[in-house]
Amino acid sequence: MVEVVLPNDANPLGNILGGKVMHLIDIAGAIVAHRHTRNVVVTVSVDNLDFLHPIRVGQLIILRAKVTRAFRTSVEVAVKVYLEDLLTGERRQTSSAFVTYVALDAEGRPAKVPPVIPLTPEEKHEYREALIRRRHRLEAAARTHRRYFDKQKRK
């Protein structure tokens, strides 16, 4: 995806709003997840979104997304964000995130998704790393849910 950063997308410093970047990451990731699963998808989690460089009004924001791994009903999508200066042609990565989506069937229930078949050494590495990230996500979610339910019990 490519968009030009316009003034209504920016903060008073002339940089794109972080929320706008998050919105575009979610859209780019969802399109890729939808195309892979051929189902409606919903966002489940976003991992470690850091903003390394600002993107200024008048520059392009470029998002590249790809499915790194499919699980039973979910997919992990890697999204990288770049800026491109229209005057100089300079391009630099500004952020990246891993977004997890769950595919839903026509009744809104989780749907089985097709596998990802990694071919290149880089794809195989991303595929292995996706499993590690998934384990960390599930562990973190379990801790969060435990804390929440423990608080509810004490009330």
What is the DSSP secondary-structure string of 106-146?
TTSSB---PPP---SHHHHHHHHHHHHHHHHHHHHHHHHHH
pLDDT grade, residue 155 (50/70/90)?
A: low
pLDDT exceeds cutoff 90 at 152: no
Alpha helical stretches, state H, the chain:
18-37, 121-154
Residue 60 falls inside a structural domain: yes
Residue 143 falls inside a structural domain: no
Which is nearest to 56 in space by CA: 16, 97, 22, 19?
Answer: 16
- CATH code of the domain in which 29 resides: 3.10.129.10
The range of the structural domain enclosing residue 108 comes to: 2-115
Question: For residue 19, what pLDDT is reported?
Answer: 96
pLDDT exceeds cutoff 90 at 153: no
Residues 43/99, Cβ–Cβ less than 8 Å: yes
Residue 51 falls inside a structural domain: yes
Residues 15/54, Cβ–Cβ less than 8 Å: yes
Q: Give mean pLDDT, residues 17-28.
A: 97
Residue 150 falls inside a structural domain: no
Question: For residue 93, what pLDDT is reported?
Answer: 98
Residue 32 falls inside a structural domain: yes
Residue 77 falls inside a structural domain: yes
What are the strands of the beta sheet with 40-47, ordered from one edge? 2-4, 60-70, 74-84, 91-104, 40-47
Q: Enter the pTM of the model.
A: 0.90
Each residue's pLDDT tens digit, 96-147: 999 999 999 999 999 999 999 999 999 999 999 999 999 999 998 888 877 7
**Both tokens assigned to 128:** 């292995």
Domain count, the chain: 1
Residue 130 falls inside a structural domain: no
Each residue's pLDDT tens digit, 46-93: 998 989 999 999 999 999 999 999 999 999 999 999 999 999 999 999
Residue 139 falls inside a structural domain: no
